[in-house]
Amino acid sequence: MTIKSEADVIVVGAGLSGLVAALEAVAGNATVIVVDQEPEQNLGGQAFWSLGGLFLVDSPEQRRLGIHDSLALAWQDWMGTAGFDREDDKWPRRWAEAYVHFAAHEKRTWLRSKGVGVMPVVGWAERGDGNASGHGNSVPRFHIATGAGPGLVEPFALAALDAQRQGRLRFLWRHRVDALETRGGAIAGVSGTILAPSAAERGVASTREADGEFTLTARSVVIASGGIGGNLDLVRRNWPQRLGTPPAFMVRGVPAHVDGRMIGIAQEAGARVIHPDRMWHYVEGLRNWRPIWADHGIRILPGPSSMWFDAYGKRLPAPFYPGYDTLGTLEYLMRGGNPYSWFVLNQSIIRKEFALSGSEQNPDLTSRSWRRILGRIGGSKAPGPVEDFKRHGADFVVADDIATLVEGMNRIGDAAQLDRQEIEDAIVARDRQLDNRFSKDFQLMGIRNARLGFAERLVRTAPPRPILDPANGPLIGVRLNILTRKTLGGLETDLDARVLGGDGEVITGLFAVGEAAGFGGGGMHGYRALEGTFLGGCLFSGRAAGRAVLQG
């Protein structure tokens, strides 16, 4: 059976960027078909699983907390972080500049007009490499959407479903695109396989059993299919030498359907992919004790106080502290032959500083219940999901003394046997620095700097106390695995999200958004990201494409 259909615009992928592009096109009176290889349970894609982090500049939330931010400071931070250094960075840099302006001006108002609010507490992610003009956020900019990832997705998903009821938009679920159709040198539609129906829950792998074929024609096709993070073979194939050797074992921060297929299909149709070696993976991955997809990993969103050791028991040097420099730490560990690393902390730190990525790990945020959210403040326990990982997670060790802790760490580590005395000496040396308000330990300086901010002091950064003091116990050791996540490179596009070919010219009728386009231009983050910028890149690029498809 072969199904044929026609529309003004076809959007490949029903994630956040695809929904935004589709809705912008619908608002311009275009007819739209959204196709996705997964069942409708996955509406909203990866954004649903996210914490809902949004990069905003000089927001009312920042100003209320006494945070002085500006477009100039944000652009300085972005450029110091991105490290643009190639001829191919022409369009990524233009996208970056346009996006930072968007984040400093229109973004918050536009989101509110769509029904998306933000929480009043602003987090400080990617605190940087210790250089004012280098990598990292100079100030807290990490805003969380009300309701976390599901709260961000909901208004766009509901608007798309409403457009479907009105006959202005059509979803074709379980439609896997296998090729881009061309006519007269322009993209004229898509063709592919209809997959068998699936009742698999969101994120769970669905069957690839074929149940027919389809061909769809349109004036414009928007690729919104995501990146490669669920395809470990592609991750390893694109892994750059500068990040060392990829570990034999990694956990996945995204489901298997984040497979990069459409990027390759677009290449076959003449599209140009740039910066495939730029990627964003985390070093604080946990093996999920209740996995939804294969090798399901959860990232710790750490505060700054845990002591960080490599797989062999050496304390990581500055600036490789929790929450400072994700890719710098990844490079340091991989070049040192570390298949994993360790946090060592105590109950006083974990109860205040540990959060977990993923909307399912933050039921208080997704519930939008202020009573539940305020439950994070005070008390002797960490949030419920964190305590669950502490009890059940394969990467956690809890003990009342350092000897028992290291013994437990050696049971779950397979790279080397840790030396108890070496780890204890490092902790004692750090704890001695607490005898005065001043210190030569850069990590303690960073902790005290963080606590100058009201939000950090209230909910995110524990007061500096001796780790080995039993009053702050028990002690906790956490094995940290490499966790795959984002593709920073992708299909090269101009500022209208039009895909470019190998000759640098626009491929008529083809657009790309979100992670498939490196969040804009083929990689608007450059080598590194400032966090809270991935969802924003999906929103911004989806909006650009949805408006541009109406012009030609």
pLDDT tens, residue by residue, 300-341: 999 999 999 999 999 999 999 999 999 999 999 999 999 999
Query: Picking from 7-21, 237-251, 375-389, 495-509, which range would have the lowest pLDDT averaged per residue?
Result: 375-389
- Nearest-CA neighbor of 232 among 171, 158, 296? 296
Q: What is the pLDDT of residue 258?
A: 96
Domain ranges of the chain: 2-225+488-549, 290-483
CATH tag, 2-225+488-549:
3.50.50.60
Contact 479, 409 (CB under 8 A): yes
> Quick one: pLDDT band at residue 3, thresholds 50, 70, 90?
low
Read off the pLDDT of each residue in 478-483 and give the average, rounded to a whole number.
Answer: 98
Mean pLDDT of 418-427: 98
* pLDDT in the model for residue 552: 60
Q: What dihedral angle (degrees, nearest 10) is formed by the CA atoms of 75, 76, 78, 81?
A: 170
In this prediction, residues 137-153 reach a mean pLDDT of 97
Residue 446: exposure state from Cβ atoms within 10 A (0-12, 13-18, ≥19):
buried
pLDDT of residue 358: 85
* Residue 237 pLDDT: 96
User: For residue 403, what are its two tokens?
Assistant: 């000897």
Supply the pLDDT for residue 376.
67
- What pLDDT shows up at residue 16? 98
Average pLDDT value for residue range 246-266: 96
What is the DSSP track for 312-375? TSPBPPTT-STTT-HHHHHHHHHHTT-SEEEEEEEHHHHHHHEEESSGGG-HHHHHT-HHHHHT
- Do 262 and 551 touch, CB atoms closer than 8 A? no
Looking at the chain, the whole-number percentage of residues with pLDDT higher than 70 is 98
Task: End-to-end CA distance of the chain: give it in Å, rounded.
Answer: 32
Sequence-distant (6+) residues with CB within 8 A of 118 are 54, 56, 59, 61, 108, 111, 143, 144, 145, 146
User: What pLDDT is recorded for position 487?
Assistant: 93
196-212 mean pLDDT: 96
Give dist(CA 445, CA 436) in Å, integer.
12
Position 179, amino acid: A
Q: Which residues pair with 286 in a beta bridge?
A: 298
pTM as predicted: 0.96
- Residues 81 and 83: their CA atoms lie apart, in Å, by 6
33 pLDDT band, cuts 50/70/90, is very high
Instruction: Decide: 458 and 489 in contact? Cβ < 8 Å.
Output: no
Task: Provide the pLDDT confidence category of residue 266 given band limits of 50, 70 and 90.
Answer: very high
Residue 375 has pLDDT above 90, yes or no: no
Helix, strand, coil share (%) of the chain residues, nearest 5: 35, 25, 40
Q: What is the pLDDT of residue 2?
A: 66
Convert the pLDDT of each residue in 151-197 to its tens digit.
999 999 999 999 999 999 999 999 999 999 999 999 999 999 999 99
Q: Are 152 and 145 a contacting pair, CB within 8 Å?
A: yes
User: What's the CATH number for 290-483?
Assistant: 3.90.700.10
Q: Which residues contact 547 (CB under 8 A, 6 or more apart)?
A: 24, 28, 496
Buried b (16+ CB within 10 A) or exposed e, 449-462: ebbebebbeebbbb
Task: Report which residue type is found at 13.
Answer: G
Cβ-based neighbours of 376, under 8 Å, separated by 6 or more: 364, 383, 459
pLDDT of 1 reads 52
**Percentage, residues of the chain above pLDDT 90:** 91
Q: How confident is the model at residue 249, as a pLDDT?
A: 95
Residue 359: the pLDDT is 87
**Predicted local confidence at residue 381, as pLDDT:** 86
Nearest to 106 by CA among 140, 59, 176, 155: 59
CB atoms within 10 A of CB 133: 9
What are the backbone dihedrals phi and psi of residue 161, each rounded to the nearest 5 degrees, phi first? -65, -35
Average pLDDT, the chain: 95
C-alpha separations of 505 from 89, 186, 272, 383, 522 in Å: 16, 12, 10, 52, 14
Q: Which residues pair with 172 in a beta bridge?
A: 35
pLDDT at 371: 73
Helix axes 16-27, 148-165, angle to 10 degrees: 40
